[in-house]
Structure 1
Amino acid sequence: MTVMRRTGWFTKSIAAAGLLLMAGQASAALWSITYPRPLSENDLRSEYPVALLTLALEKTGVKYSLLPSDRILLQGKALRQLKENREVNVVWSMTDAQREKDLLPIRIPIAKGLIGWRVFLTTKDQLKYFKAVSSTDQLMKMTPVQGEEWPDTKILQANGFNVYTVPEYPQAFSILQSGRARLFPRSVIEVLNELESDDLPADIVLEPKLALHYPTAMYFFVNKGNATLARLIETGLERALEDGSFDALFRSTYQETLDKLDLENRTVFELDNPSLPPATPVNTPDYWLRPTRQE
């Protein structure tokens, strides 16, 4: 799904006619949209994506219902169910080449690239090992834990890390506690909510001085056969970007988090992302935020 602007009178006319047809079809029906149910009531990671999706749908003027799935779906399961057009019809996730092959992405990064900015969870006992880290080579001597099917795992492995993988997200914390992994890289948009969760073990803490960055995006994905829903969500997101409501929601959600994490004063290690799809809109500046000082 591209968001490139077509030029030329004929192509603009065709595009306008298509949008009018889509709008007529959309307004005549109730859109039932289902997303993956969070792990628990304390899992706040879905609040912003759901709020942004709600905003986008409101911008289109369609009638809709937006509800969580009947059961909890972890990310890998949710993506498989979406591919099979079962249980959910929209999922938000970090992109990679395989996901864009299996699913239909709406290529507007919903978190402005912050999904690729990572800070580290560790245990109180292991915190001392980070004090002497001043280079990527030194950091690579520590074992990170990640999900088996996460794009982050491939990125870390491609950059030389020996990654300990787990099939499900909650298991990562027990691996940290066991000492089999020393750090759990978490996105800056997730980590504070995780730390405030009652479900988190008491000895899990945030490392205060280091961070990782790799270029990537989190998108809304739909089933490949659901191009009309993809166009609907894309249209709503574009309208929200144009009128400033997208950025207002983003800032109200994440600015305090970025201030607390103090990324400007952390040592940031830059990694390559060889699995970044070539269609990623890296040259659209309004889509991205770099939360550190430019060198």
Structure 2
Amino acid sequence: MPERHNPIRALWSSGLLLMFLSLPSLALDVRVSDSREHNFYMDALVWVLDKSGIDYQLIHTDHPVSTQRRKVNLLLNNEIDVIYAGTTNDLESRLLPVRVPVTRGYIGNRLLLINKQFQPDYDQVTTLNQLKQHTAALGFGWPEVEIFRAAGLNLNERIYDEIFVTLNEGSRYYFSRGLLEIYPELMGKRKWLKNLSVENHLMLKYKSAVFFFVHPNNKALQTAIAEGFRKSYEDDSYLEFFYNHPHIKASFAKADRRQRTVLSINNPFFPQASENIPDKYWHTNESVVNAQTQ
């Protein structure tokens, strides 16, 4: 038997609908875990989220993060909502990437952090083969590990924070860091690790990109970050933000890139799915003198 029309119920339902539609939308929670000072990536995340126009709330959690594997596990366990990392096939298969290079590909321009007493040893290095006589210290599970191994470079995996201490105490390792990471990191540590120094004439170079990654089920956050990038590249404001950021400007000024010997490395592990990122998201090629690698 069909249900009879009830005008009171209809009015009640309409009132609930109008009340629901008039409620303000809830902010999107964005939980992060990164305790490092002088962090461009966190500044970039806030920039693109602001630019996206969404209502969001950035929440700093208390999770200690010592390795990339732990960051990924925290994300997959829904304990945090976004991480930044150098992209790999494994990460792109397990997480949801925002395929815009946060540092415009400069993460593939690598400088070496060393104990300053060993600078004379590195002064003798002009080819990749000569660099193979030294050993890199790299974080556990970092994309660089498989890239360096494929290039025949010696390496030792260690916990990120321990590498700085080991170098300071007299290790002969070199620590490969992104051009835009190394100086802010050193700024935060030099007051208590006084023997650290940026090696003064080499730069490694290979194709790489840092993406923001979210949980595979968090399409809303991926869309918001992507929209922030889209809008800020459309009006060129991301370029203005990027090249005028104090850490970026200081890094370019200190690195003296055009005077460095560039050792090029192939990256056979760059994900095929990210090969077609539009050129506008990458930095342009610069005129630097490439050293012979043989």
Q: Shared topology, TM-score over 0.5? A: yes
1:195 corresponds, among 183, 186, 194, to 186
Q: Does structure 1 conserve the Cα–Cα contact (< 8 Å) formed by 2:99 and 2:277?
A: no
Pair 1:38-2:35 in alignment: yes
Pair 1:173-2:164 in alignment: yes
Superposition pairs for residues 60-75 of structure 1, below 5 Å?
60-74=52-66, 75=68
2:149 corresponds, among 138, 149, 157, to 157
Give 3-state SS (helix, strand or coil) of 1:149's partner. coil
Higher-Rg member (1/2): 2
Which range is displaced more, 196-205 or 260-269? 196-205
CA deviation map 1:210-248 (0-9, x unaligned): 010110100010001111211121011110111111111
Give 3-state SS (helix, strand or coil) of 2:230's partner. helix
CA deviation map 1:53-95 (0-9, x unaligned): 2222222322111122123323331111102222x10111111
Q: Does structure 2 conserve the Cα–Cα contact (< 8 Å) formed by 1:145 and 1:175?
A: no
CA deviation map 1:153-211 (0-9, x unaligned): 11111100110111x21111233345554311111111111221246511111111101
Q: Which residue is 1:261 aligned to?
A: 255
* Structure 2 CA distance for partners of 1:104 and 1:52, relative to 1, 3 Å: same
Q: Does structure 1 conserve the Cα–Cα contact (< 8 Å) formed by 2:214 and 2:222?
A: yes
1:293 corresponds, among 287, 291, 294, to 287
- Identity among equivalent pairs (%): 27
* Structure 2 CA distance for partners of 1:283 and 1:62, relative to 1, 3 Å: closer
The runs of 5 or more residues in structure 2 that have no matched partner are 1-20, 290-294
Determine the C-alpha separation between the residues in 2 that align with 1:146 and 1:28.
Answer: 44
1:245 corresponds, among 237, 261, 267, to 237
Give 3-state SS (helix, strand or coil) of 2:63's partner. strand
State the one-letter code of the partner of 1:32: D
Give 3-state SS (helix, strand or coil) of 1:71's partner. coil
CA shift for structure 1 position 29:
2.4
CA shift for structure 1 position 100:
0.7
CA shift for structure 1 position 257:
1.5
2:278 corresponds, among 275, 281, 284, to 284
The number of equivalent residue pairs is 263
Determine the C-alpha separation between the residues in 2 that align with 1:264 and 1:280.
Answer: 28
Determine the C-alpha separation between the residues in 2 that align with 1:49 and 1:236.
Answer: 14
2:173 corresponds, among 170, 177, 182, to 182
Pair 1:131-2:128 in alignment: no
Q: Which residue is 1:146 aligned to?
A: 138
* Structure 2 CA distance for partners of 1:245 and 1:136, relative to 1, 3 Å: same
Pair 1:218-2:210 in alignment: yes
Pair 1:78-2:71 in alignment: yes
The runs of 5 or more residues in structure 1 that have no matched partner are 1-23
Tell me the TM-score normalized by structure 1: 0.83
Give 3-state SS (helix, strand or coil) of 1:202's partner. coil
State the one-letter code of the partner of 2:33: P
1:57 corresponds, among 49, 60, 76, to 49
State the one-letter code of the partner of 1:29: L
State the one-letter code of the partner of 2:279: P
Tell me the TM-score normalized by structure 2: 0.84
Say what the alpha-carbon RMSD is for the aligned residues: 2.0
